[in-house]
């Protein structure tokens, strides 16, 4: 049996702890393969976070210097959950040290940075992975199977969106997510990443886009370093400008000929986590929303009046990965269960030295769509999705 996979994690906020738990759960859920992870070292600029992670998650050591993670001789895989503007330099350092890299989206704070990250990974022949975790919901994987078997027919229309309201309070803090120098774009990079990845997985490449964007809340109270998260509220703190967008809407056309609409917002009051899609084909229709992630609305008419309408499909052991968690149908899986599936999938890729999607190549294809979207904001017309060849202004 292969020795445990040495894991180092950079960034021990909420997401870093989610990854820690996910890797610890792999043997429980996927115990029939070489998937045991060893939590070697974690890093965060806030020392209390690293010490807490060491105590709770069981890391062997902790540091405030992220370079110690990428240089540690017993770390094989580096997981990066830091703010966007730090991703590329950490990826480059890890790749040069021969470490495999899993990075939370977006891989780069700009499309060009994502290209650079992809190139350095290819040059150093490392396995890569990206945190597009919503694709791992069992009923979503089931929809993918239906599409691949042709049961929905030719895809004609796709609607994808991700509406959240974590930023709907004007007194919500100005975390790095609202600063273009640190995050790059706002809601485009933050949540449209998931929407575009899902569209790519289900329908295929996007050919061209026309898009608009808006910032609804122009300034926010400054966050206290090392405290809270992007849900925190500090109405009495000094305020500074928001420098990226709150909303993005886009019309798209796919290479397969389908038409689509993609929408994201971080200020949609009342939308807790509305990551959803509708997909229409010549033979049927499917609809899914993460807020009810264990259910799928499916319409596959067969000419019978009794079947002439959508049915509710509940997650069950016949759907991909579900049986690893429950033996019977209609039990509720969670966000963190999707991260366990994600961690398993990536650890298998590392064990087999075989890159699987979603990898940095997947992130680059998403970034190419972002490039076209941003060009459309300026031109206010349809823009083609193109290969990124040089640094963007």
pLDDT in tens, 308-354: 889 999 999 999 999 999 999 999 999 999 999 999 999 999 999 99
pLDDT for position 49: 93
In this structure, what token pair is assigned to residue 360? 């940095």
pLDDT for position 393: 44
Q: What length is written for the chain?
A: 393
Distance CA 94, CA 75 (A): 10
Low-confidence ranges of the chain (pLDDT < 50): 392-393
In this structure, what token pair is assigned to residue 227? 């405290």
Distance CA 248, CA 192 (A): 8
**Among the CATH numbers 1.10.1040.10, 3.40.50.720, 3.40.50.1820, 3.40.605.10, which is that of 5-133?**
3.40.50.720
pLDDT for position 89: 98
Residues of the chain with CATH 3.30.360.10: 138-332
Beta partners for residue 38, in sequence order = 6
pLDDT for position 228: 61
Instruction: Strand 206-214: give its sheet, edge to edge.
Output: 311-314, 295-299, 285-289, 274-281, 155-163, 259-265, 247-254, 206-214, 383-384
- Of 210, 214, 246, the closest CA to residue 230 belongs to 246
pLDDT for position 118: 97
* CATH top class, domain 138-332: alpha beta
Distance CA 81, CA 8 (A): 11
């Amino acid at each position: 049996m292969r020795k445990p996979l040495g894991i180092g994690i950079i960034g021990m906020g909420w997401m870093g702890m989610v990854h820690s738990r996910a890797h610890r759960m792999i043997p429980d859920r996927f115990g029939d393969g070489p998937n045991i992870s060893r939590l070697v070292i974690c890093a965060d600029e806030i020392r209390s976070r690293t010490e807490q992670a060491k105590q709770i998650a069981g890391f062997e050591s902790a540091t405030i210097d992220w370079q110690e993670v990428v240089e540690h001789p017993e770390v094989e895989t580096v997981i990066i959950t830091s703010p966007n503007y730090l991703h590329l330099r950490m990826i480059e350092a890890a790749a040069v040290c021969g470490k495999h890299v899993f990075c939370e989206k977006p891989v780069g704070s700009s499309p060009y940075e994502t290209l650079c990250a992809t190139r350095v990974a290819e040059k150093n022949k490392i396995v890569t992975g990206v945190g597009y975790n919503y694709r791992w919901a069992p009923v979503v994987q089931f929809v993918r199977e239906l599409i691949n078997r042709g049961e929905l027919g030719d895809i004609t229309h796709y609607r994808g969106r991700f509406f959240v309201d974590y930023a709907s309070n004007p007194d919500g803090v100005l975390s790095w997510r609202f600063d273009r120098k640190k995050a790059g774009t706002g809601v485009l990079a933050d949540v449209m990443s998931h929407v575009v990845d899902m569209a790519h997985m289900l329908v295929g490449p996007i050919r061209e886009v026309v898009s608009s964007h808006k910032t609804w809340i122009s300034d926010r109270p400054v966050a206290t370093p090392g405290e809270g998260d992007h849900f925190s509220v500090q109405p009495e703190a000094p305020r500074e400008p928001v420098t990226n967008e709150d909303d993005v809407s886009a019309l798209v056309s796919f290479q397969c000929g389908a038409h689509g609409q993609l929408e994201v917002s971080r200020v949609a009051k009342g939308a807790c986590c509305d990551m959803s899609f509708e997909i229409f084909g010549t033979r049927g229709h499917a609809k899914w929303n993460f807020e009810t992630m264990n259910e799928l609305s499916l319409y596959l008419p067969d000419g019978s009046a009794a079947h002439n309408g959508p049915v509710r499909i509940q997650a069950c052991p016949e759907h991909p990965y579900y049986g690893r968690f429950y033996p019977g149908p209609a039990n509720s899986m969670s966000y963190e269960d999707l991260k366990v599936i994600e961690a398993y999938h990536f650890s298998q890729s590392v064990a087999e030295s075989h890159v699987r999607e979603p990898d940095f190549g997947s992130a680059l294809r998403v970034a190419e769509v972002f490039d076209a979207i941003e060009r459309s904001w300026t031109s206010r017309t349809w823009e083609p999705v193109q290969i990124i060849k040089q640094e963007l202004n």
